[in-house]
Amino acid sequence: MEESYVEAVLDDTRDKMSRAVEHARGELAAIRTGRAAPALVEKLRVEYYGSEVPLQQVAGIQVPEAKVLVITPYDKGALKAIEKAIQGSDLGVNPANDGVVIRLTFPPLTEERRRAMVKVAHTKAEDGRVAVRNLRRSARKDLEALEKDGEISTDELDRAEKELERLTHEHVAEVDRVLQHKQDELLAV
């Protein structure tokens, strides 16, 4: 019976840590590398009929060439709102609106800009690692409370904490792998 308490805490923590890693992966994917990628714009908030929605809900995004994104609104009335959202973002590109689609052409990144993007990537990755560690701390508190209430023994607490530590290292290492991939991508000319 007591094993199920520990397993429930560990399973819940494992799920939450996986979601934290996925969030970090999404944050890193949105960092511009000089190549056009839908992830750069799909989360941009667009003012659409009085509410803010992600761009991916109001338009299709294609990558016809390595440095070009083509955004095709599902509703032509959203064209101006999409254009405004892109101009207000930190992408640093000017949208070309031909009345039907919006084209974004990404200029090559300068060495200085690449280095700045690497710093941003490190910050986002650190946020991901911190989130994983916070989940570890929370799970440890839950496990210690179970031990204090007599639901699990001290030995079971020790085993569970070792497993929790293994999970934490596994998920932090995954964030580091994603960061390394993004850094290589940013520094490749």
Query: Residue 2: its pLDDT value, please?
Result: 47
List the beta strands (DSSP E) in 102-156: 102-105
2-29+110-187 and 38-105 agree in CATH topology: no
Res 189: pLDDT: 63
CA distance 160 to 140: 9
Answer whether 2's CB lies under 8 Å from 151's CB: yes
Which amino acid is located at 88 in the chain?
Answer: G
One digit per residue, the tens of pLDDT, for the chain of length 189 reads 445 888 999 999 999 999 999 999 988 887 877 677 788 788 888 888 888 898 888 999 998 888 888 999 998 888 888 888 888 877 778 888 898 889 988 877 788 888 888 898 999 999 999 999 999 999 999 999 999 998 888 999 999 999 999 999 999 999 999 999 999 988 886
Which pLDDT belongs to residue 115?
Answer: 87
The domain 2-29+110-187 is placed in CATH, from the list 1.10.132.20, 3.40.50.970, 3.60.70.12, 3.40.50.2300, at: 1.10.132.20
**Domain residue ranges in the chain:** 2-29+110-187, 38-105
- pLDDT at position 167, please? 96
| pLDDT given at position 126 | 96
First to last CA, the chain: 57
CATH code reported for the domain at 38-105: 3.30.1360.40
Count helices and strands in the chain by DSSP H and E runs: 4, 6
Q: Are 171 and 18 in contact (CB under 8 A)?
A: yes
Q: Is 148 helix (H, G, I), strand (E, B) or coil?
A: helix
CA distances from 26 to 34, 114, 126, 176 (A): 17, 19, 14, 14
pLDDT at 3: 55
